Structure 1
Amino acid sequence: MPQSVEELKRLAAIPSVAFPGHPEEAVHAAAAATEELLRSTGLTRVQRIPVEGSFPAVYGEAPAPPGMPTVLLYAHYDVQPAGDLAAWRTPPFEPTLVDGKLYGRGVADDKSGIISHVTALRVFQGRFPVGIKVIVEGQEEYAGERLEAFVERNPELLRADAIVVADTGNPRVGDPAVTTSLRGMAAFTMEVRSLRESLHSGSFGGAAPDALAALMRMVTALHDDNGDIRVPGLPRGRFLGQGPAEEEFRRTAGVLDGVSLVGSGSLADRLWASYAITVTGLDVPSVSGAINAVQPVARARVTVRIPPAGDPKTTVNAVVDFLRQVAPWGVQTSFGDFTVGSGFQADSGGKARAALNRAMERAFGRPPRDVGAGGSIPLVNTLLKQFPAAEILLFGAEDEDAAIHAPNERLDLEELRRIATAEALFLHELSQPSALGV
């Protein structure tokens, strides 16, 4: 673990943001560092592989011993942008250890996944009990569907009997869980235009149509007063498992006193089985740079989370059609920069899930429970389609308090140790006669 923690610090210090406008050199540096880490595990083959239109994937493998299954391990080395630097208590790309927790962008999502794989594989000192394949991609956080096309073109490279996706986590530290459902995702940018150019708000305000006001009316029309979605054809769903208690969710989410939650149904329904629409960005004048003007153009980035069985393309079409219908005053609207990704629903589980249950019980002291995840991992559904006989297992070192995609992202190092232990035990358990049906 001391070695793993130091390597996580070095890896997380690389600002590998694969979004447009960020330095590409840092992303390639993270790929090189990931390649070096995989080489240290004893895998017989490690290389960087070009991915069309994206950053390279890092691939490693070791052949299966006779009669043994093969396990594919997945993670990603790119990270979200740091966002508002003023909101960070420590520098986002200077990983800082405080009371057993490591703070920094990407320490949890998803460089902890890389390190948990590396730590688990090192246990075997190059003598792996099962076949191993590893794929670590470099652009999951932005346009992750590019690796999907790579998988579809290279199925034999990644074919496996079980697939471990280390890009989720537990509800709480020390509370083991396996993610059995993921919502899909769609995102797009909306632009509203009403004037050729900005106008003096004193001379023209009150009659000239304000593009920002039109945009605000459109996005607020997406939800009713209770916070439920008003777009036709996007019904609420149901999650049959147990979700978080409201008090626990309010604490984790940081909901302020006196502020109510939004939407209807159980929290599990709202978070894991229903649609959610969020405006994640606005291109409008800032308060500090505001001038007395009626705005001619305004833009918004809209993200839609989609239940596992929902169709992303149908969903995004429904949302766009609704926004066009509610656009006021005949303003001109355009939509672009679309991103879509399908959801995932696991089967009840087979031999690999049983082996994971035993491994997690040994590592955590109790068996795991099934949970859903409101986030999306674009690759998972493609893996499911390409390898329908493979069991896909989602777990990892993140937890609900890890603040992924937010300021002050952090990783509990004891959770990393338990997850790496569980993964090593899983690889061992999968090679035992009970898992092989012998």
Structure 2
Amino acid sequence: MSVDEAALRSAVESVLPQMRQDWFDLIRIESISSMPEKDAETQRSAEAVAEKLREIGCPDVKVVAEGGKPAVIAHFPAPEGQPTICLYSHHDVQPTGDPSLWQSPPFEPTERDGRLYARGSNDDKGGIAVHLGALRAFDGKPPVGVTLFIEGEEEIGSPSLARLIETYHDELVSDVFVICDATNWEAGQPSFTTTLRGVADCVVELRTLDHALHSGGFGGVVPDALTSMCRLLATLHDEKGNVAIEGLKTHPAPDLDYPEDRLRSESGILDGVHWLGDGSAVSRLWTKPSCTVLAIDCTSVADASNTLAPVARAKVSVRVAPGDDSTDALEALVKHLESHAPWGAQVSVTRGETGNPGLVPFEGELAELAQGAFRDAWDGTDPVQVGCGGSIPMIADFQQAFPDAQVLVTAVADPDGRPHGIDESQNLDDLDKACLAEALLLARMAR
């Protein structure tokens, strides 16, 4: 089955206004999966995605759940002899933080200087918009089979994903999975992600006293829990900022230069603040482990008094290098915390969530088709193979459940997009090009 690509380009151009309207409609739904009080909105978001697919002409759409947040599974059946491609994105989003810190309301799409600002604009309702736009360009009749899997709990670690895959395994079987949930190398240059770090976290509790004490009466003899916690957490890194947890693995890094001025601009690091660790920037971002203290519970400054605190708690997270195992990494973190308690403090650790890292080979005929489709959509700009410092554990779940399928990790976002942060935004030109790229890929997959 051949597709007239000139006509397809024209069709994509014609559906871009509707693609943006779809995008805006979904953004306005506050589908924050981590907040139970937003469950009705998350359900409404799934129903809205399903309804848009029905509008396009999808004959088989359903909203499903396996004890977790709602997902959407939809099928455009494959024409005779044609392969099937599964398009993945997620419709849930992160909380907004303080809305007053946003330049415009977080759930009202607002365009400024070639970007659209809103929560979920890139992560990951931009991905859903791309899928919808590509299918609209084919008037709901793609030249290959298309399955859509739009998840509703990626932002909380996909706790019911394994059950969804098990229950609907036969409906999700595909030749190719396109995971549109990563980040391009930069605005104007597309990427395929080939490595991803995993994640492991825990809560450590440290005790030095059975009750609080007056700091004037016992300070200088009795260690307080907060100072002790600070000393414990400081052992997680060496003097240069390298992770000092024994047993964590690293993975070879690509030969790719991340200019320091660009890194400084994109990160917003303050003048005079040093970088952490040794090695290339991309190795530290993508293929070496990192460790972060996410939060500390102890007396707040507002409530402080001259008191030795008896207990302190902290949440600690490790980003796990590709090729490592996040369960093993969590055990290494626990062992480190338990064995480095200062001054004999009592330490207990509660294990948290884990998500495995991923290696996503980009090779073979389908990878070549994807490379060409994205190059042509970006007017001759070659895609870059990159790593992801964040975690998308469901990629490993798909690889395990569908070992014979090709997985392609694509993106609409760019490093300026601030996913999860204040003033999240999406480059509008890249969104349009991603829609064209996906349409070209569907066309070129047709045998």
TM-score calculated relative to the size of structure 2: 0.91
1:428 counterpart = 2:443: yes
CA deviation vs aligned residue, 1:119-150 (integer Å, no higher than 9, x gap): 11111112110001111111111132420332
SS where residue 17 of structure 1 aligns?
Answer: coil
1:173 counterpart = 2:187: yes
Shift of 1:186: 1.1
CA distance in 2, matches of 1:322, 1:225: 17
Q: Which residue of 2 aligns with 1:400?
A: 415
Alignment-mate amino acid for residue 91 of structure 1: P
CA distance in 1, matches of 2:228, 2:54: 55
CA distance in 2, matches of 1:266, 1:329: 36
**Residue 333 (structure 2) aligned to one of 311, 314, 319:** 319
SS where residue 370 of structure 1 aligns?
Answer: strand
Q: Which residue of 1 aligns with 2:372?
A: 358
CA distance in 2, matches of 1:335, 1:26: 35
Alignment-mate amino acid for residue 147 of structure 2: K
Q: Which residue of 1 aligns with 2:394?
A: 379
CA deviation vs aligned residue, 1:1-49 (integer Å, no higher than 9, x gap): 2222233223222222212555322222222222222222222111101
CA distance in 2, matches of 1:93, 1:206: 52
1:51 counterpart = 2:47: no
Contact 2:70 2:152 in 1 (8 A): yes
**Residue 57 (structure 2) aligned to one of 42, 47, 50:** 42
Taking the TM superposition and a 5 Å limit, the aligned residue runs for 1:239-278 are 239-278=253-292
1:411 counterpart = 2:426: yes
SS where residue 171 of structure 1 aligns?
Answer: coil
CA distance in 2, matches of 1:85, 1:299: 28
Shift of 1:264: 0.7
Contact 2:278 2:284 in 1 (8 A): yes
CA distance in 2, matches of 1:208, 1:95: 55
Q: Which residue of 2 aligns with 1:74?
A: 88
More off after superposition, 83-92 vs 111-120: 83-92
Contact 1:232 1:318 in 2 (8 A): yes
Q: Which residue of 2 aligns with 1:156?
A: 170
CA distance in 2, matches of 1:27, 1:198: 44
SS where residue 61 of structure 1 aligns?
Answer: strand
CA deviation vs aligned residue, 1:151-206 (integer Å, no higher than 9, x gap): 13432121100000010121211111111111111122222233344444334433
**Residue 13 (structure 1) aligned to one of 5, 28, 36:** 28
SS where residue 272 of structure 1 aligns?
Answer: helix
CA deviation vs aligned residue, 1:404-425 (integer Å, no higher than 9, x gap): 1221111111111110111111
More off after superposition, 246-255 vs 67-76: 246-255
Contact 1:145 1:341 in 2 (8 A): no
SS where residue 362 of structure 1 aligns?
Answer: helix
Taking the TM superposition and a 5 Å limit, the aligned residue runs for 1:288-303 are 288-303=302-317
Alignment-mate amino acid for residue 298 of structure 1: A
Q: Which residue of 1 aligns with 2:204?
A: 190
Q: 1:137 to 1:302 in 2, by over 3 A?
A: same
**Residue 384 (structure 2) aligned to one of 369, 378, 396:** 369
Q: Which residue of 1 aligns with 2:118?
A: 104
**Residue 118 (structure 1) aligned to one of 132, 146, 152:** 132
Shift of 1:381: 0.6
Alignment-mate amino acid for residue 387 of structure 1: F
SS where residue 303 of structure 1 aligns?
Answer: strand
Q: Which residue of 2 aligns with 1:307?
A: 321
Structure 2 unmatched runs, 5+: 1-15
Q: How many residues align?
A: 431
Contact 1:237 1:270 in 2 (8 A): no
Alignment-mate amino acid for residue 341 of structure 1: G
CA distance in 1, matches of 2:398, 2:33: 22
CA distance in 2, matches of 1:289, 1:414: 49
SS where residue 411 of structure 2 aligns?
Answer: coil
Alignment-mate amino acid for residue 128 of structure 1: P
SS where residue 288 of structure 1 aligns?
Answer: coil
Q: 1:236 to 1:142 in 2, by over 3 A?
A: same
More off after superposition, 123-132 vs 143-152: 143-152
CA distance in 2, matches of 1:41, 1:294: 64
Shift of 1:345: 1.2
CA distance in 2, matches of 1:340, 1:269: 21
Q: 1:234 to 1:3 in 2, by over 3 A?
A: same
Q: Which residue of 1 aligns with 2:40?
A: 25
Alignment-mate amino acid for residue 77 of structure 1: H
More off after superposition, 358-367 vs 158-167: 358-367
Structure 1 unmatched runs, 5+: none
TM-score calculated relative to the size of structure 1: 0.93
Contact 2:249 2:324 in 1 (8 A): no
Shift of 1:284: 2.9
CA distance in 1, matches of 2:40, 2:215: 45
Shift of 1:107: 1.1
SS where residue 168 of structure 1 aligns?
Answer: strand
SS where residue 403 of structure 2 aligns?
Answer: coil
Contact 1:148 1:378 in 2 (8 A): no
Alignment-mate amino acid for residue 5 of structure 1: R
Q: Which residue of 1 aligns with 2:216?
A: 202
Shift of 1:90: 2.5
